[in-house]
């Protein structure tokens, strides 16, 4: 692919662009899915795309295409000034580096072993309890990703890695019906506990079969690792330097922003996350402490924001696919876990354990305000006692991180953003009046 990138780079220069960047992405996805315990299917999707950033005068032009034939990409370059997405620039936007970087860690997956594991998870889930009516889905998905990048300053990088994700969804019935779901991610099949995935999905469904009523109360809350990772992902942009430029964050460098229990790291590698040794502008990534004991140490940057704000580039350029322009995004952005278990948090409170949220997309990403539908469990004497469905939880994300009393050790990732479960004080959970 570097040969293609070099030809496109030379062609772009010949058309009068003073700065050029060629980004080529290849993604190979394989799916192995067993539906309703009997219907097995296998899927394969391969996508190869190219994205170009081309600078002429005070404007940058962005064009992209699937890689079918080179001539069609050259035609895009010919017409970039008229058909490409354009933006006026006031600072340097491409890394001015002349170096080569390469990081490749590809695991080979045994497809026979994968298929066996899919059937095994389905069987374990079905036999976990007589109230499991159906295993709706037992699946394993693998993704292999390659990125090649070159720019006109001599920067040349290649990054390759793969991931595996196994998940089970079951239907339980006892007067009412409930769904239970669980997944685990890793970089190899050996990292995945297939038995635990199946059993946990079944337990989650069974636990919800006897819901109780609940009156509105102010109490301590534990946000599950899944819930907290969703919330942290949704509000990620408050930690982006772009939000400083756009004036859409309340955070200030060097000031205490949150509870001293909160430390946030953006890392190159994390189990359950991704491998991100080079960002998507070709800059080598190093671990970054974003928040330490409640104090904001840095915003996250790409080349544009670091030059605009005259700050250190943290190598957080992300594209989210070749069709999208560069943004500031997470590598492996996570709330730092402690040595406390989830049970330790349960033992610390009588309160509410939130396991599911609805309506996160309606939250205000600037102010931090949210009003969510929630499901979860009452916690009494360290145990889950009653399942509570369709309650409400209204608060503010900044407040949540200020009221965090303790963080557990059960780190879970949603995409590139992760969190353990957290104990938050003084929350109002709405129920029946």
Higher pLDDT, 430 or 271: 430
246 with 367, same domain: the answer is: yes
Asked which of 46-55, 64-73, 190-199, 419-428 is least confident by mean pLDDT, the reply is 64-73
111 with 245, same domain: the answer is: no
Residue 33 has pLDDT above 90, yes or no: yes
189 with 243, same domain: the answer is: no
138 with 199, same domain: the answer is: yes
Cα–Cα distance between 167 and 187 in angstroms, integer? 15
Residue with tokens 């994968």: 114
Which of 159, 176, 205 corresponds to the end of one domain? 205
- Strand-strand pairing, 264-267 and 85-88: unpaired
Res. 433 pLDDT band, cuts 50 70 90: low
CATH number at residue 15: 3.30.2290.10
399 with 359, same domain: the answer is: yes
Read off the pLDDT of each residue in 138-153 and give the average, rounded to a whole number.
Answer: 97
Res. 43 pLDDT band, cuts 50 70 90: very high
Read off the pLDDT of each residue in 290-302 and give the average, rounded to a whole number.
Answer: 98
225 with 150, same domain: the answer is: no
Average pLDDT of the residues of the chain: 95
239 with 201, same domain: the answer is: no
Residue 417 has pLDDT above 70, yes or no: yes
Residue 154 has pLDDT above 70, yes or no: yes
Cα–Cα distance between 201 and 135 in angstroms, integer? 10
DSSP 361: G
Read off the pLDDT of each residue in 363-374 and give the average, rounded to a whole number.
Answer: 97
Report CA 329 to chain centroid distance, whole Å. Answer: 10
Residue 198 has pLDDT above 90, yes or no: yes
Strands (E) across 36-119 are located at 39-56, 59-66, 85-88, 100-105
Cα–Cα distance between 265 and 5 in angstroms, integer? 33
Which of 171, 189, 205 corresponds to the end of one domain? 205
CB 424 within 8 A of CB 403: yes
pLDDT tens, position by position, 393-410: 999 999 999 999 999 999
Residue 431 has pLDDT above 90, yes or no: no
pLDDT tens, position by position, 199-213: 999 999 999 999 998
Cα–Cα distance between 313 and 121 in angstroms, integer? 44
Residue 208, SS3?
A: coil
Measuring CA to CA, how many Å separate 385 from each of 29, 68, 175, 180, 227? Answer: 41, 58, 19, 18, 20
Read off the pLDDT of each residue in 97-106 and give the average, rounded to a whole number.
Answer: 93
Cα–Cα distance between 158 and 2 in angstroms, integer? 9
Q: How many domains does the chain have?
A: 2
Q: What percent of the chain has pLDDT over 90?
A: 88
303 with 352, same domain: the answer is: yes
pLDDT tens, position by position, 250-261: 999 999 999 999
Give the dihedral of Cα atoms 313, 316, 317, 323; nearest 10 deg.
Answer: -170
395 with 315, same domain: the answer is: yes
Read off the pLDDT of each residue in 171-193 and give the average, rounded to a whole number.
Answer: 95
Q: How confident is the model at residue 67, as a pLDDT?
A: 82
232 with 174, same domain: the answer is: no
Residue 308, SS3?
A: helix
Res. 72 pLDDT band, cuts 50 70 90: confident
- Domain range enclosing 53: 2-205
Residue 101, SS3?
A: strand
Which of 184, 205, 226 corresponds to the end of one domain? 205
Q: How confident is the model at residue 79, as a pLDDT?
A: 83
**Residue 12 CB burial class (10 angstroms; 0-12, 13-18, ≥19):** buried
CB 101 within 8 A of CB 282: yes
92 with 135, same domain: the answer is: yes
pLDDT tens, position by position, 332-344: 999 999 999 999 9
Cα–Cα distance between 294 and 63 in angstroms, integer? 41
309 with 233, same domain: the answer is: yes
């Amino acid at each position: 692919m570097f040969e293609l990138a070099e030809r496109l780079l030379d062609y772009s220069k010949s058309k009068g662009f003073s700065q050029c960047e060629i980004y080529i992405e290849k993604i190979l996805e394989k799916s192995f899915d067993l539906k309703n315990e009997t219907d097995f299917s296998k899927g394969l999707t391969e996508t190869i795309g190219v994205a170009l950033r081309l600078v002429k005068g005070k404007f940058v032009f962005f064009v992209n295409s699937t890689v079918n034939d080179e001539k069609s990409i050259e035609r895009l370059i010919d017409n970039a000034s008229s058909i490409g997405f354009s933006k006026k620039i006031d600072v340097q936007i491409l890394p001015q580096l002349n170096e080569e970087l390469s990081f490749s860690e590809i695991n080979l997956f045994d497809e026979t072993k994968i298929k066996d594991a899919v059937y095994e998870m389905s069987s374990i889930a079905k036999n976990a309890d007589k109230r499991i009516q159906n295993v709706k889905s037992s699946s394993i998905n693998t993704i292999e990703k390659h990125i090649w990048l070159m720019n006109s300053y001599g920067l040349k990088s290649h990054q390759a890695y793969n991931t595996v994700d196994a998940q089970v969804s079951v239907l339980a019935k006892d007067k009412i019906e409930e769904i239970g779901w669980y997944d685990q991610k890793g970089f190899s099949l050996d990292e995945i506990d297939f038995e635990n995935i199946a059993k946990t999905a079944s337990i989650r469904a069974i636990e919800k079969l006897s819901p109780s009523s609940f009156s509105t109360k102010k109490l301590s809350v534990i946000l599950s690792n899944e819930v907290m990772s969703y919330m942290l992902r949704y509000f990620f942009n408050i930690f982006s330097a772009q939000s400083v430029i756009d004036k859409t964050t309340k955070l200030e460098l060097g000031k205490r922003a949150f509870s001293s229990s909160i430390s946030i790291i953006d890392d190159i590698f994390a189990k359950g996350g991704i491998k991100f040794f080079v960002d998507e502008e070709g800059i080598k990534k190093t671990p970054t402490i974003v928040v330490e004991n409640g104090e904001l140490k840095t915003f996250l940057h790409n080349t544009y924001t670091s030059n605009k704000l005259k700050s250190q580039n943290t190598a957080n350029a992300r594209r989210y696919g070749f069709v999208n322009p560069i943004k500031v995004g997470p590598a492996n952005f996570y709330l730092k876990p402690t040595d406390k278990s989830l049970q330790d948090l349960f033992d610390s409170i009588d309160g509410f354990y939130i396991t599911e949220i609805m309506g996160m997309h309606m939250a205000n990403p600037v102010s931090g305000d949210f009003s969510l539908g929630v499901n979860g469990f009452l916690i009494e004497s360290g145990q889950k006692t009653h399942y509570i469905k369709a309650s409400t939880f209204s608060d503010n994300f900044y407040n949540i991180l200020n009221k965090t009393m303790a963080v557990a050790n059960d780190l879970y990732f949603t995409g590139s953003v992760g969190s353990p479960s957290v104990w938050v004080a003084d929350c109002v959970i709405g129920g029946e009046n």
